[in-house]
Structure 1
Amino acid sequence: MKPDAEGRHAAGGNTARPGGPGTAPAGRPERTTSVRWALAGLSLSMLLSSLGTSIANVALPTLAQAFGASFQQVQWVVLAYLLAITTLIVSVGRLGDLFGRRRLLLAGILLFTVASVLCGLAPTLWLLIAARAAQGLGAAVMMALTMAFVGETVPKARTGSAMGLLGTTSAIGTALGPSLGGVLVAGLDWRAVFLVNAPLGVVTLLLAHRHLPQDRVREPGRDRARFDHVGTVLLALTLAAYALAMTLGGGSFGALNATLLVAAALGVGLFVRAESRASSPLISLATFRDPLLGAGLVTSALVSTVMMATLVVGPFHLSRALGLDEARVGLALSVGPLVVALASAPAGRIADRWGAPRMTLVGLGAMVAGTLALALLPRTLGVVGYLAPIVVTTLGYAVFQTANNTSVMADVPADRRGVVSGMLNLSRNLGLVTGASAMGAVFALASSAADVATADPGAVATGTRITFAVAATLIVVALTVTAAGRARARHVAHLL
């Protein structure tokens, strides 16, 4: 995918208000300072959206007691947030492309902040769930447009470093959520879990308002593309059906799950038909003819599926197969997110220096090595025998994620950055949702136990090895897809 004139303009500078962050030459100190503050605002946006995903889980038992509700009911506090992100992230990215990314991002941060306050003040469970859905919509805007804004704020040669910084803050938010949530619930109450986002949201809003470049002015006489309402509704319903099929049922797959999957498949067909006829489609079907973009989206979904396996299998393996108590299990599980947080920023700088395509392959190679070690190493090696391969796997993930995001977003035209960023985030979310269901099912079947929580250590260890053997196979598939995409892109370039 080659950048057009508008895309090249966006990579080299920004159309901004007089005296704003986009007007100073790249070498001026005030320009450098403004870029740093802009990246700080974008990083906080990513931190808040990932923190919102992970912080609420620890409060579910307390919420069940506070509202006198069942676990299935309070689980919607988490599901409402995730469903809002999954179903709307592509659409809000497209809205940003059409009507201005800056104003929409500011609106998303404001919505997230206000919704966080409403969550903390909610008098009933269902109002809390509704506020969480609104918070998820704000998070979808933040996630979709944060990466899209990188091309507006930093030179193309530093894209990898910026993506690495965003990856670091996202990992910090994911890792910090459970521990911070636990402290807040224990020291205050469940409302603090949501209210803590409010001051962070205000700071993020102020930074974004002050330092992000203004939306570019539409050229006179150039018609603005219309927003694809039909495609948006069809895509949202399709993604909602798929996400619910993967998450409902508590690990069992019944008639409702099957019906939802059929509905999702039907929705895909209707969406493709609608997009082929739309004058201004939400997602142009021609986008998928770009071999690099297609490969990047597929591999992102596969890798996220594998990373979810580490979260699904890890607690059971550490507690049942290795006999660790809850405190040590928590410490062991924090190793992976800590590695990602520490490695993402250096991985971005390496991607800038050695090239994102090359580092994508390096990251996938490390993940193959790590998952194979998890599949082959014996249980007798203990915690070290589990954590060492986890470190290799998550280090490879940090390198891959940063390099793949950089590679996909590098040459996207300026008027499509929002929707492509949304698609990239969507592929990751779908991988996580699929991994939680599919890899959990593989683990349960491989353990040959009616209930993994009470299975004997040997059965759990066997389940772990088989699950990570499947994970290694998926990463090999991702490597193949990436290599095939690169080969096809070279062939297309040669023909041109």
Structure 2
Amino acid sequence: MPREPLNPTARWALTSLALSMLMPSLDTSIANAGLPTLAAAFDATFQQVQWIVLAYLLAVTTLIVSVGRLGDGVGRRRLLLVGIGLFTAASLACALAPGWIWLIGARAVQGVGAAIMFALTVALVADAVPKARAGSAMGLLATMSATGTSLGPSLGGLLMEHVGWPSIFLLNVPLGLLNAWLVYRYLPADRTARTPVTFDYVGSGVLVLTLAAYALAMTLEGFTLGLLVVSLCGAGLFIVVEKQARAPLIRLSLFADPRLSSSLALTLLVTTVMMTTLVVGPFYLSRGLGLSSAMVGLALSVGPLLAAFGGVAAGRLVDRFGARRMVPGALLGLAGGCALLALLPTHLGLPGYLLPMTLVAGSYALFQAANNTGLMAGVSQDQRGVVSALLGLARNLGLITGAAVMGAVFSLATGGPTQAPAEVIGRGLHITFAVATALMLMALILSRAKIKWGSGLAREEAGTADISSD
């Protein structure tokens, strides 16, 4: 049976959300390729310009939950407009930066705007499109996320070479103005709050410091153990604070629902493995296979581009067959792809790397569409912002953890990939993706348990409803 097409208002509303996902995703990676250019432009060291990337990621990771909860209180559309405005203004400030300290500060502010956009975009899908089209909408947002992240380095490199480094930030100004107009014109207005909004400032502060300690532990050499201890203590303090808060930032009772907690755990595990392909892939392709920089870039773009183009198709599969069926299938595909990455490249070379990556990329697109749709479908209206933000937080923590932990596994397996010979790099690839396969099998087991829990809860709710009707 053919699906009823979206009306023009819904199409433009979905376009505004797609832009809200594309812009911050693009800026997650657009500066990476130009760090040498920025170091030369500002006469800065590599460690100094690294903070141009790190400041953005830290702001997003630490604030995403707080701004998601704030959106539930003050209005998601209203706060999204604020986030787009901040992101656009900070992009202009980045382009006009007279020095690297100014640029790092502007990038941090840009990260605040990006946190708002990431946190609220998924939450606003239910307001933009009919429920029957939610899977397709989530698939489109997954496409925009993958497109932005994969396009960032190549687009940034081209703009820096032919236009100049400010252009990678000026690009956001017209896009931001267009995005703000589309959100204002086509997204439904927020419902007026009848009671004053109470925000958990103490809980937010503790969570920000806890997440900052964890993110820095994963990125700063020599401080890992101490910062991990701080983050663990912060997590314990956050639980105590939230139990006593009158209007908690996160209702801890949310995590009693196994569907939510397992969906977040699956997101963290999957993004940890996806980051592995970005950490290990460049070393294997360049040192293991001896490919040129241009060929390495092309090979690395295959996975993200397939994930981008497969997002809409994955969303349609979710709409047709349901999220519950698609999540285990996606995880099985990821586990199979990782297993093939552990086995084939050392025997088949480049084809042995690219073929499994097509399976990994397609499965990742399906997982995102299915997991996000299934999670958001069962969330109450007043909690959509914070749950969407928790989903974004799990994704960011997975990316950070993948870069640090799986990077460490690869480094230990090769004894240092920058100097290791080709055969040692191949062995390191084998060991690292064997670990990734184990993580995906763990995720598959967790997803099966999630389905059983979900079925049990559904039967329990149905029984309660029957009793109530009697």
TM-score, with length taken from structure 2:
0.96
Instruction: State the shift of 1:118 in Å.
Output: 0.1
In the alignment, residue 125 of structure 2 is paired with which amino acid? V
Which residue does the alignment assign to 2:417?
452
Matched, 1:83 2:58: yes
Which residue does the alignment assign to 2:40?
65
Deviations 1:311-362 (A, max 9, x none): 0000011111111111111100000111101101110011000001111111
Instruction: State the shift of 1:66 in Å.
Output: 1.3
Runs of 5+ unmatched residues, structure 2:
462-470
In the alignment, residue 128 of structure 1 is paired with which amino acid? L
Which residue does the alignment assign to 2:28?
53
Which residue does the alignment assign to 1:321?
288
Which residue does the alignment assign to 1:423?
390
Deviations 1:235-258 (A, max 9, x none): 000000000000112xxxx3x211
Instruction: State the shift of 1:225 in Å.
Output: 4.7
The DSSP-based 3-state class of the residue aligned with 1:471 is: helix
Is the CA contact 2:345–2:351 (under 8 Å) kept in the aligned structure 1? Answer: no
CA distance in 1, matches of 2:374, 2:363: 16
Runs of 4+ in 1 over 6 A off after TM superposition: none
1:439 equivalent among 399, 403, 406: 406
Which residue does the alignment assign to 2:230?
263
Instruction: State the shift of 1:224 in Å.
Output: 3.9
Which residue does the alignment assign to 1:339?
306
The DSSP-based 3-state class of the residue aligned with 2:198 is: coil
Which residue does the alignment assign to 1:491?
456
1:481 equivalent among 434, 446, 460: 446
Instruction: State the shift of 1:154 in Å.
Output: 0.9
Which residue does the alignment assign to 2:258?
291
Is the CA contact 1:80–1:136 (under 8 Å) kept in the aligned structure 2? Answer: yes
2:220 equivalent among 225, 228, 248: 248
CA distance in 1, matches of 2:153, 2:365: 20
Is the CA contact 2:80–2:117 (under 8 Å) kept in the aligned structure 1? Answer: yes
Alignment of 1:351-430 (within 5 A): 351-377=318-344, 379-430=346-397
Instruction: State the shift of 1:62 in Å.
Output: 1.0
The DSSP-based 3-state class of the residue aligned with 1:216 is: coil
CA distance in 1, matches of 2:384, 2:104: 31
Matched, 1:212 2:177: no
Change (3 A) 1:484 1:224: farther
Q: How many residues align?
A: 459
CA distance in 2, matches of 1:106, 1:360: 33
In the alignment, residue 41 of structure 2 is paired with which amino acid? A
Instruction: State the shift of 1:377 in Å.
Output: 2.0
In the alignment, residue 60 of structure 1 is paired with which amino acid? L
Deviations 1:390-413 (A, max 9, x none): 111111111001100101111211
Is the CA contact 2:140–2:311 (under 8 Å) kept in the aligned structure 1? Answer: yes
The DSSP-based 3-state class of the residue aligned with 1:151 is: helix
CA distance in 1, matches of 2:89, 2:345: 50
Instruction: State the shift of 1:428 in Å.
Output: 0.4
CA distance in 2, matches of 1:183, 1:245: 33
CA distance in 2, matches of 1:115, 1:344: 30
The DSSP-based 3-state class of the residue aligned with 2:349 is: helix
Instruction: State the shift of 1:491 in Å.
Output: 2.1
Deviations 1:39-76 (A, max 9, x none): 11110110001001010111211111111111111100
Matched, 1:158 2:133: yes
Is the CA contact 1:294–1:485 (under 8 Å) kept in the aligned structure 2? Answer: no
The DSSP-based 3-state class of the residue aligned with 1:452 is: coil
Sequence identity percentage: 56
In the alignment, residue 458 of structure 1 is paired with which amino acid? E
Instruction: State the shift of 1:378 in Å.
Output: 5.0
The DSSP-based 3-state class of the residue aligned with 1:227 is: coil
CA distance in 1, matches of 2:303, 2:441: 21
Is the CA contact 2:74–2:193 (under 8 Å) kept in the aligned structure 1? Answer: no
The DSSP-based 3-state class of the residue aligned with 2:248 is: coil
Instruction: State the shift of 1:188 in Å.
Output: 1.8
Instruction: State the shift of 1:191 in Å.
Output: 1.0
CA distance in 1, matches of 2:227, 2:352: 40
In the alignment, residue 210 of structure 1 is paired with which amino acid? R
Which residue does the alignment assign to 1:235?
207
Matched, 1:103 2:113: no
- After superposing the two structures, state which structure 1 stretch, 434-443 or 53-62, moved more: 53-62
CA distance in 2, matches of 1:154, 1:378: 43
Deviations 1:4-45 (A, max 9, x none): xxxxxxxxxxxxxxxxxxxxxxx8x9x810000011111011
In the alignment, residue 289 of structure 1 is paired with which amino acid? A
Is the CA contact 1:150–1:159 (under 8 Å) kept in the aligned structure 2? Answer: yes
Deviations 1:75-118 (A, max 9, x none): 00000000000000011011110001111000100110000000
Instruction: State the shift of 1:299 in Å.
Output: 0.3
Matched, 1:131 2:96: no
TM-score, with length taken from structure 1:
0.91
Instruction: State the shift of 1:156 in Å.
Output: 1.0
In the alignment, residue 242 of structure 1 is paired with which amino acid? Y
CA distance in 2, matches of 1:200, 1:477: 41
CA distance in 1, matches of 2:33, 2:285: 19
Deviations 1:107-144 (A, max 9, x none): 10011000000000010111110100000000010011
Is the CA contact 2:258–2:450 (under 8 Å) kept in the aligned structure 1? Answer: yes
CA distance in 2, matches of 1:399, 1:197: 29
Is the CA contact 2:323–2:370 (under 8 Å) kept in the aligned structure 1? Answer: yes
CA distance in 2, matches of 1:106, 1:461: 48
Instruction: State the shift of 1:280 in Å.
Output: 1.0
CA distance in 2, matches of 1:128, 1:263: 28
Is the CA contact 1:225–1:280 (under 8 Å) kept in the aligned structure 2? Answer: no
Which residue does the alignment assign to 2:18?
43
In the alignment, residue 452 of structure 2 is paired with which amino acid? A
Which residue does the alignment assign to 2:465?
none
Is the CA contact 1:322–1:379 (under 8 Å) kept in the aligned structure 2? Answer: no
Instruction: State the shift of 1:441 in Å.
Output: 0.3
Instruction: State the shift of 1:214 in Å.
Output: 0.1
Matched, 1:174 2:149: yes
